[in-house]
Structure 1
Amino acid sequence: MRRLLKRSALVLLALLVLMFIALGWYLHTKRVQRDGSALLMGLSANVQVSYDERGVPHIQAQNEADLYRALGYVHAQDRLFQMEMVRRLARGELAEILGPKLLDMDRLFRTLGLRAFADGYTAKLDKDSASIKALTAYLDGINQFQATHPAPLEFDLLHIPKRPFTIEDTIAVSGYMAYSFAAAFRTEPALTAIRDKLGADYLKVFDLDWHPSGVMQTVPALAQHDWMQLDKIAQLSQAGIEQLAIPQLEGSNAWVVSGKHTASGKPLLAGDPHIAYSAPAVWYEAQLSSPGFELYGHFQVLNPMALLGHNQQFGWSLTMFQNDDIDLVAEKINPQNPNQVMFHDQWVDLTSREETIQVKGAAPVKLVLRKSPHGLIITDAFKDNYGDAPIAMWWTFLEADNPVLDAFYQLNRADTLDKARTAASKIGAPGLNVVWANAKGDIAWWAAAKLVKRPANINPSFILDGATADADKTAFYDFADNPHEENPARGYIVSANFQPVSPSGIAIPGYYNLYDRGQRLDQLLSQPGVKWDTKNSQALQLDVQTNYASRVLRPLLPILNQVLVTPEDKRLLDSLSKWDGNFQTKSIAPTLFSQLIYQIAHNAMVEKVGATQFQNLLRTRALDFAVPRLLDDPHSPWWGKAANVNMDARQTMVLAAWNDSLVHLRSTLGADSSRWLWGHAHTLTHRHPLGQQQPLDKLFNIGPFVVPGGREVPNNLSGPIGPAPWNVAYGPSTRRLIDFADTSKALGINPVGQSGVLFDVHYNDQAEMFANGNYVNEHTNSADVQAHAREHLVLQSH
């Protein structure tokens, strides 16, 4: 018996060894090849790829076609699954691999029209243009890698079939990036519901008026089930994307300082676009070199043109313009014909198209999607479940000439002011702030977008009436009307998503961020006598303070002083009174402040607007503007009626919010308030699409990391307003600093790592450095690249 047990144990051990060997071999087949040689058909000559210590490829080719084909190949090695997920999201094809739970998300994106738009847009492209030739070569490199290598691990787990990537995929993904800017889906229904259900007095706190001097200085009634339609669209536009851990663009900082204010005497460019965190990260870094062209770029999936980049001569960064380029329009239906709507005083027919969604494990779903003269009927996405009132969507991305591929192809080569301006003028949607500099000393900023002319006195923050002229679009403004600056006398430019001012005085509706972050950057950059370099610029990018906390606390502290009486309350209030607004990890004041402003907004608004619309409001910038204005107005209708004869309504509600905040913090962070440190409550985890379920989260997700920063400070590690604890949802997607006196010393950082391949050495090798606020060198000159090369891959033509 003992011999039998021993033999069985040996057999079991042997099986385990064989299993581990098989698993090791399986994972080995998924590895990224960065050394040796590989065959890449279609090359006219061998391409040299040197990988540095962070896994960044430095590609040297003899011509542009070879360069972009090689970029596609190496990009696919590291990010093929990310490419697959983003294209399926944009084209409404997730349910095909993830099943019925993603059907509503597919319904939404089919209704947005990105798939149909991409197909039609591609058919009209000039295939001989330089940008399309570059894209075609890049996609060929991706497809060759996919066809000749084992599928990524995630493909096997989800049983994703391989299929070639196309130009249509790239156009659809660019549409998703434009859509991810769009706050209209969350903001317009919420504000319209407040206006129509509660009245105009309730809108005063949101500060919806245009400020002509800048900040640096009626719709048809909808039934309840129709509001439910819009609520679901708003929720899906946010929650589903968060669940899939697919990057969504949120804000950004960028500034440029002329040589007269730098230590080196040359311009210094800084940029940190704010994008939702994920694993892998949104940006893929690569240096491209061919005769007559060199660029160190940051690339997004399925796009061979760098959206951020620099070389020895010039460079640029981006922020989100935040202009409102989407209008929601309530259509008036003909009572005698439900397929007609009122347009310019007559009934006109809706056009329609039919699409089929493939669903894993279930029958295909057919959608009939309609269009009015105002745009696609987005409520058709869920017509079977909710009301009948059609809401159309007019979107600049779908309606305007938008040669965005040409724009960035030219921007990748824009070494002069004129070239950069011309490139920026081609960007139609989404709206982007292009912040640019060159080594010759020029600095500039252009708010790049097609700005639409709307009828006078129309506020597109609300759903518009399609039966009137309110929803008409007469034309687009000239690019010269867009906000911009070129070599301003002050010697620096700041872009931080605040409301800009047009040189021609036109109002530019939008969903702009708080102005405090821009004012903070402007205040520090305008300090007399300071000479900027990459060292003090790091401190500026990592700054965690603005004036917003002071603006909120100015009316709040006197109220709290009047209503708080216990020693514990007084002690906590003292910590708020002495707080300077810094969101540092070892302070309890940011924790108390963040919980309290959420609780005040919740207690004042949730019963009046409903739980769903309140959740939508939490994900808008409108609420950021509302909180200090609400606290400043003791007569605001949001306070309701006083329930205590010794207090007014504002005092009553603030006291209740304070008590609710302490109850919540004790239940989540513990009874000892000295342990309510911001670092205990505020953490960053980079989530992978497969990391949404246990135990895969332990395998694929990266983090959590304790991080400073917060909502609308320069180091904008943040998320929606909400209760503790706070999981950072978005923030700097990279931090770049380029001094044009010596671009070989440019600094940057990736929030996680270059690779999206699990167990790869570069999967998460920068995550801790990023959380700690560290920077790394971006190697550009040949000597530095050679000195830091760790592996070398030769892509051979035959």
Structure 2
Amino acid sequence: MKRSLLTLAALVVIALAAGGWYVHSKQPQRDGQMTLAHLQAPVTVRYDERGVPHIRAENQVDLYRALGYVHAQDRLFQMEMLRRLARGELAEVLGPKVVDTDKLFRSLRIREHADAYVARLDKQSPTWLALQAYLDGINQFQDTHARPVEFDLLGIPKRPFTAEDTLSIGGYLAYSFAAAFRTEPLLTYVRDQLGADYLKAFDMPWQPQGSLAAAPALSATDWKSLNDLARLSNQALEQAGLPQFEGSNAWAISGSRTRSGKPLLAGDPHIRFSTPAVWYEAQLSAPDFELYGHFQALNPFALLGHNLDFGWSLTMFQNDDLDLIAEKTNPDNPNQVWYHGAWVDMTSSQQQIAVKGAAPVTLTLRQSPHGPIVNDVVGSTAGTAPIAMWWAFLETDNPILQGFYEANRADTLDKMRSAAEKIQAPGLNIVWANAQGDIGWWAAAKLPVRPEGVDPGYILDGSTAQADKSGFYPFSDNPHEENPARGYVLSANTQPVSPSGRPIPGYYNPADRGRQLNRQLSDDHVRWDIPASQQLQLGTKTDYAARILKPLIPILRQVARDADEKALVEQLAAWPGDYPIDSVGATLFNQFLYELTEKIFHDDLGDAFFDTLLSTRVIDDALPQVVADANSPWWNNRHSPAPENRNDIVKMAWHSAVEHLRSLYGNNPEEWRWGKAHTLTHAHPLGVQKPLDSLFNVGPFAAPGTHEVPNNQSARIGPAPWSVSYGPSTRRLIDFADPAHSLGINPVGQSGVVFDKHYADQAATYIHGGYFEQHFSEADVAAHTEGVLRLVPVQP
């Protein structure tokens, strides 16, 4: 027995040692010396206490090669998954369950567009040379180091990263902005199947004949096909465990309004939470270039950044740059569509999708003169009407890499304006300031010229001229402001003012968040500084709840069943619309909001379209309009024998809300605290599988905030508890009186390598509203250096 115990102990020690060696072999190296081919001179990388690399090189090409190397050390798996998602190659490593996602992304033609884009690039331009150096750094790291743990678990083979991968990820980001796949089928269904009175809730113009009147009416199978497409589109984004842009806040305040007398820049792009987080921070220093940047996977040019002279942030423009088009097919030849007065053949091609553990899947891709046919991806349920997609991303020159290369160097209004003009898809708002005192905002996008009177919020009729585009409006027609007299610029995803007065179709957020920020920024009594800006970024109050509750509180007072419920109604009536983690009113309101939404819309839309509605932005505008209109047809439940009115539905929703919260948290409302019901978990792509969730995911954390407040910690409308899906992906504050001491935060950590000390070291600080200094000056970087990695050329 003694020998057996000793043997067992020895095996345990060996296993622990092997495990320790395995984990250690996967960790980033942040100290010591490594050789890197193609360097012209040594490069120094100093890592600070958050694991942020401060890279100093003798020239810019070396700088980008080193950036690729250190970026890969921390984020190689994120790079791999993003390129596979964008290019429709996930099934090769994840198996049959994601074949439909691959089909969807193949149907978007991102792969072909990226390949053609790269072929057109000037291979001698500084932009191309920087990209190639960066990719070479990534590939050198991959070739010389152990694979990440995730590669081992999934059996992912190593293969080089390419410029085509970089551009494909750009296509994924553009697609993640596109709300049309979910919104256009929904609104078209409401218009054509429910009617004008129902459409009023969405504030959309009514066309009595419907914009599809000239084409064959869509069948029940076609509607199912469209809803399946909407579901697949949303599922592909939600279940990937990868970053997806959702909203954002950004403002720049002129020195005339700040305490320091210099401009102040603030930004917090709202992106789906994930592990690792979307941004990789790095300071780049060369004799002719200096930038503290926030980088995305496989992109060497910072999408957010600053130095001592200037800085910028981004928000989503949310312009509608994607149209869905129902084609009219030839009864004698289903491969022909009616286009400009004649039957025209659709083209087709085939692709093979590799599937782990299964036979390859053959995908036939069709294309009409309007664009790719996208509903083929749902297979046998696709219906009879081909649905084509016109997408600005596929139709513009879109020199976006050049645009961000220039943005990284844009220290004047003229330079940033010129850079913004080159960012054509996806639509972005660029908010910028410099140390000289200038501030500016530009809506960067190519806005298509659609026929007069055409509303792209619906599915368009391909047999008419509705879907035609006669070009793009000039960039000067885009919304923009430069050094406005009021002393600040603001972007918060609301509908912008068009300088030409021309409508700009889009899927904009409700105005509540933007109005609140604008109201505070316009206060002439405030001299803005960093602490005041922190308070503004971390705000958790909204006027949206008050808009919902104002017409309903009198009804709730009537339907409350007992003293306890009456006390809850009065608590809700007195609730200021604030979302700290100890709020009971926030929990009660959000459960009531879901019950109200379900009882208003579900019976008319059915399961599938109701689920789609909850994934769109139009629900946020529809709810206040319906609750304010006692005569809206949405109040009647079409499946019940007797007609209902607003009071009936509000009564049912209230009682359901109270009962649900009691069933979850008990009869004492003091236990219904927001932070108990509203939590944030940063999910890793492998964290959807137990028990890997406990290894790779980070959280949960009690989360303040909600949808459409400045601290936009958002969860989908649904029953409690609520899991936060997206929010500020970083919070940055830069006072150009002292830009070397800017503030920022990563929601999780700088590293994507599990067991690394920087994997989740910022998560607790983030959720509690904290910030860290972004070290910039030589003295500051030296004082906070915790490791020095020297990259040296290979000796001949």
TM-score (norm 2): 0.97
Pairing of 1:550-569 with structure 2 (within 5 A): 550-569=546-565
Partners of 2:204 and 2:579 in 1: CA distance:
28
Aligned to 1:710: 706
Q: Are 2:453 and 1:457 equivalent residues in the alignment?
A: yes
In the alignment, what sits opposite 1:99?
A: 95
Is residue 642–residue 650 contact of structure 1 (8 Å, CA) maintained in 2?
no
Instruction: Find the partner of 1:672 among 652, 655, 668.
Output: 668
* Structure 1 segment 252-267 matched on structure 2, within 5 A: 252-267=248-263
Is 1:248 the counterpart of 2:244? The answer is yes
Identify the residue that residue 295 of structure 1 maps to in structure 2: 291
Match of residue 696 from structure 1: 692
Task: Indicate how the Cα distance of structure 1 residues 39 and 639 shifts in structure 2: closer, same or farther if over 3 A, else same.
Answer: same
User: What residue in structure 2 maps to residue 622 of structure 1?
Assistant: 618
User: How far, CA to CA, are the matches of 1:57 and 1:33 in structure 2?
Assistant: 11
1:353 is matched with 349
Q: Please, which moves more after superposition, 293-302 or 190-199? A: 190-199
Change (3 A) 1:541 1:8: same
Partner Cα separation in structure 2 for residue 565 and residue 153 of structure 1: 56
| Cα distance in 2 for residues equivalent to 1:201 and 1:282 | 42
Residue 190 of structure 1, aligned match among 177, 186, 192: 186
Alignment check: 8 A CA contact 1:642 1:652 kept: no
Deviation of the 1:134 alpha carbon: 0.7
Tell me the amino acid that sits aligned with residue 104 of structure 2: L
Matched-pair contact (CA < 8 Å) for 1:187–1:622: yes
| 1:231 alignment counterpart | 227
User: Are the equivalent residues in 1 in contact too, given 2:48–2:786 (CA < 8 A)?
Assistant: yes
- How far the C-alpha of 1:690 sits from its partner, in A, is 0.9
The CA distance in 2 between the partners of 1:758 and 1:483, in whole Å, is 43
CA distance in structure 1 between the aligned counterparts of 2:270 and 2:776, rounded to whole angstroms: 25
Tell me the amino acid that sits aligned with residue 608 of structure 2.
T
- Give the letter for the 2:461 counterpart: D
Q: Secondary structure at the match of 2:380?
A: coil
Task: State the match for 1:63 in structure 2.
Answer: 59
**Partner SS state of residue 230, structure 1:** helix
Write the letter of the residue equivalent to 2:520.
Answer: L
Deviations 1:136-162, CA, capped at 9 Å, x for gaps: 110000000000001000000000000
Give the deviation of 1:648 after TM superposition: 6.4
Q: CA deviation at 1:209?
A: 6.0
- Equivalent residue number for residue 576 of structure 2: 580
Structure 1 range deviating more: 599-608 or 200-209: 200-209
- CA positional deviation for 1:612: 1.0
Deviations 1:365-397 (A, max 9, x none): 111101111110001212334323100000000
The gaps in structure 2 that reach 5 residues or longer are: none
| 1:302-313 correspondence runs (5 A) | 302-313=298-309
Is the Cα contact below 8 Å between 1:669 and 1:681 reproduced in 2?
Answer: no
Residue of structure 2 in register with 1:732 after alignment: 728
Count the aligned residue pairs.
787
Match of 2:523 in 1: 527
Shift of 1:673: 2.2
2:151 aligned partner: 155
Whether the 8 Å contact between 1:296 and 1:309 is mirrored in structure 2 is: yes
> 1:315 is paired with a residue of what secondary structure?
strand
Q: What is the CA distance between 1:201 and its match in structure 2?
A: 1.1
Aligned to 1:469: 465
CA contact 1:643–1:652 (8 Å) conserved in 2: no
Is the CA contact 2:67–2:300 (under 8 Å) kept in the aligned structure 1?
yes
Q: Which amino acid aligns with 2:410?
A: A
Once residues 259 and 34 of structure 2 are traced to their aligned partners in structure 1, the CA distance between those partners, rounded to angstroms, is 45
Amino acid at match of 2:557: N
Which letter does structure 2 place at the counterpart of 1:324?
D
Contact 1:600 1:654 in 2 (8 A): yes
Q: How far is the alpha carbon of 1:576 from its aligned partner?
A: 0.6
- Secondary structure of 1:380 counterpart: helix
Offset at 1:646? 13
Name the counterpart of 2:749: 753
Cross-structure match for 1:508: 504
Residue 590 (structure 2) aligns with: 594
Written as runs of structure 1 = structure 2, the 5 A alignment for 1:261-280 is 261-280=257-276
In 1, Cα distance between the equivalents of 2:236 and 2:174? 17
* 3-state SS of paired residue (1:743): coil
Please report how far the alpha carbon of residue 45 of structure 1 lies from its aligned counterpart in structure 2 after TM superposition.
0.2
Match for 1:523: what amino acid? R
Show the 5 A alignment for 1:599-678.
599-640=595-636, 649-678=645-674
Q: 1:759 deviation in Å?
A: 0.4
**d(CA) in 1 for partners of 2:104 and 2:78?**
20
Query: Aligned-pair distance for 1:674?
Result: 2.0
The one of 166, 171, 174 aligned to 1:170: 166
SS of match in other structure, 1:594 = helix
CA contact (8 A) 2:268 2:730 kept: yes
Amino acid at match of 1:487: N
Matched letter for residue 267 of structure 1 = P
Q: Match of 2:756, SS?
A: coil
Task: Write the letter of the residue equivalent to 1:679.
Answer: G
Give the aligned residue type for 1:547.
D
1:214 matched residue in structure 2: none
Aligned to 2:107: 111
Amino acid at match of 1:678: W
CA contact (8 A) 1:122 1:167 kept: yes
Contact kept? 2:46, 2:54, Cα under 8 Å: yes
Asked whether the equivalents of residues 644 and 652 of structure 1 are also in contact (C-alpha less than 8 Å), the reply is no
Which residue number corresponds to residue 3 of structure 2?
Answer: 7
3-state DSSP of counterpart to 1:244:
coil
Given that 1:352 and 1:369 are in contact with CA atoms closer than 8 Å, whether structure 2 keeps it comes out as yes
Q: Return the TM-score normalized by structure 1.
A: 0.97
Determine helix, strand or coil for the equivalent of 1:453: coil
Letter of the structure 2 residue corresponding to residue 638 of structure 1: W
- SS of 2:86's equivalent in the other structure is helix
Distance 1:647 1:177, change over 3 A: closer
Q: Give the 3-state SS of the residue equivalent to 1:256 in structure 2.
A: strand
Structure 2 residue identity aligned to 1:258: S
Deviation at 1:528, TM superposition (A): 1.9
The alpha carbon displacement at 1:492 in A equals 0.6
- Determine the structure 2 residue equivalent to 1:433: 429
Q: Are 1:488 and 2:484 counterparts? A: yes
Structure 1 residues 676 and 266: alpha-carbon distance in aligned structure 2, compared to 1, 3 A threshold: same
Residue 252 of structure 1: SS of its match in structure 2? strand
CA distance in 2, matches of 1:646, 1:182: 40
| Offset, 1:345 | 1.3
* 1:785 matches 2:761: no
Letter in 2 for 1:310: H
CA RMSD in angstroms comes to: 1.5
**Pair 1:74 & 2:70 matched:** yes
Distance change in 2, residues 1:385/1:737 (3 Å): same
For the residues of structure 1 that align with 2:583 and 2:641, how far apart are their CA atoms? 36
**Contact map agreement 2:637 2:643 (CA 8 A) in 1:** no
Q: Output the CA distance in 1 between the equivalents of 2:793 and 2:429.
A: 40
How big is the shift at 1:566? 1.5
The residue number in structure 2 matching 1:86 is 82
Q: Do the aligned residues in 2 keep the contact of 1:643 with 1:649 (CA within 8 Å)? A: no
Give the % identical residues. 61
- State the match for 2:394 in structure 1: 398
Question: Distance in 2 between the 1:527 and 1:94 partners?
Answer: 50
Deviates more, 1:232-241 or 1:433-442: 232-241
Structure 2 Cα separation of the partners of residues 643 and 455 of structure 1: 40
Change (3 A) 1:356 1:648: closer
Report whether the alignment pairs 1:146 with 2:161. Answer: no
Give CA deviations for 1:405-462 in whole Å, capped at 9, x if unaligned. Answer: 0000000000000000000011110000000000000000000000001111111111
1:242 Cα deviation from its structure 2 partner: 2.1
CA distance in 2, matches of 1:683, 1:209: 38
The answer to whether residue 204 in structure 2 is matched with residue 208 in structure 1 is yes
| Structure 2 CA distance for aligned equivalents of residues 370 and 66 of structure 1 | 44
Letter in 1 for 2:172: Y
Shift of 1:48: 0.5
User: Any residues of structure 2 matched to 1:364-379 within 5 Å, and which?
Assistant: 364-379=360-375
Output the CA distance in 2 between the equivalents of 1:37 and 1:388. 63
Cα shift at 1:672 = 2.5
- The Cα shift of 1:697 comes to 0.6
